[in-house]
Amino acid sequence: MQGLRFTEDIIIMGNQAADLDSCVSAFAFASLLTALNPEIKIHPLIQGSFEDLRLKPEIESLFRRAGISLRPDHFTAHFPPAPLKGSRNRALILVDHNRVDSPELTYRPVGIVDHHRDTGAYPGLSLRDIRICGSCSAIISEYWRESGLPLSRGNALLLAGAIAVDTGYLDPSWGKATELDRKEYTRLLGQLSPEDQDYLKTLLHVKNDLSHLNLMEHLKRDYKDFPVIGLRGGIASITLGQDEFFSPDFFRQEVIQEFIQKTCPDFLIIMHTVPEPFKRELSVFVPDQKGYAGKEIRQGLEKLKEPGLSINNTKQNGYGGVWTLYSQKNIKVSRKVLTPLLKEVLEK
């Protein structure tokens, strides 16, 4: 297939959040490229640490069912260091993102397969496929179909599981599934046994059952850096509504302080995604000494029309910062939609 033939060893890496779609895209695409390029080594890579797998039970559950044992060397935290500058013995393919967000990995990008908004990075690559759809795994599934190669039960299960979780089983109310997602998911289900189909129906519940996680683990579970206008910020996606997140039995401001000092010292945005009934909320924390940043972020958010944000509450918390809490009318605006819109407004 055009654009899928390589002569160098390849690292295939998902995005910083290391969610199910990102992990599946890396492994399923690595499997396809290995079949097409048997003479080179192809290694799927997950950003993060092997020890943090417990934060994402849906990944461990689906990969185990698919017969894949994840190892420490599948994670960037345990991966061998990059070769010397200028070496071309390893190249990098990005899946589920289209700009390198792991600066310590200095391999040369040779390909992109993604379903987010195009940032314009790395033009001219022979493999540069960026299409808006519900799940990057749907694009990988299409590659498998067009290759004509047999799709193993394990890869079919991985791809179907990622599409299911990313689109809520193609639920129209989520506003994420496209025709490509529907076509590929239906095709993949047709290749799976009734037992595997029944298992997939439980996968979203497995993802949302996070009762074993504490506040710090919720923040780490699905976090991405969000550097903008010279600020070091970040955005975490959490499957807890504001009422539950800020409840006295769960919330600890000292944990927030510890997290932002290590990861995003200028501001932290939390996107609350509540599964049943499905809704989204937004919370923004800015330390007192970064008040100018808070003003910029709040003004930027309030200029956005698509999310339909309205302020629920603004409060001083006594721990050196201010929380601003928003409700979100348009539930179709996910983090992958919100962040480029906000970045564009702030950097005008």
Average pLDDT, the chain: 91
Looking at residue 263, its pLDDT comes to 94
Looking at residue 101, its pLDDT comes to 82
| Rounded CA separation 267/18 (Å) | 21
CATH architecture type of domain 215-346? Roll (3.10)
Q: Which two tokens stand for residue 180?
A: 């490509």
pTM: 0.82
Contact 130, 98 (CB under 8 A): yes
Within 13 Å of residue 22, how many CA atoms lie on the same side as its CB? 21
DSSP-derived secondary structure for 222-268? TEEE--BTTB-EEEEEESS-HHHHTSTTT--HHHHHHHHHHH-SSEE
The reply to whether omega before 57 is within 30° of 0 (cis) is no
Mean pLDDT (whole number) for 26-54: 95
Looking at residue 86, its pLDDT comes to 46
Where along the chain do its domains lie? 9-208, 215-346
Looking at residue 312, its pLDDT comes to 81
Residue 183 in this model has a pLDDT that exceeds 80: yes
* pLDDT tens digit sequence for 196-224: 999 999 999 999 889 889 999 999 999 99
| Rounded CA separation 185/346 (Å) | 37
DSSP-derived secondary structure for 161-206? HHHHHHHTTT-GGGT---HHHHHHHHHHHTTS-HHHHHHHHHHHHH
* pLDDT tens digit sequence for 112-124: 999 999 999 999 9
* pLDDT tens digit sequence for 271-292: 998 877 788 999 999 998 888 8
| Percentage of the chain exceeding pLDDT 70 | 95
Phi, psi of 225 (to 5 degrees): -60, 145
Q: Kindly state which CATH superfamily the domain 9-208 is placed in.
A: inorganic pyrophosphatase (n-terminal core) (3.90.1640.10)
Of the candidates 28, 37, 25, 39, the residue with the CA atom closest to the CA atom of residue 1: 37
* pLDDT tens digit sequence for 52-91: 999 999 999 999 999 999 999 999 998 875 554 444 467 9
Confidence label for 173 from pLDDT (cuts 50, 70 and 90): confident
Looking at residue 316, its pLDDT comes to 58
Of the candidates 177, 149, 129, the residue with the CA atom closest to the CA atom of residue 25: 129
Residue 260 in this model has a pLDDT that exceeds 70: yes
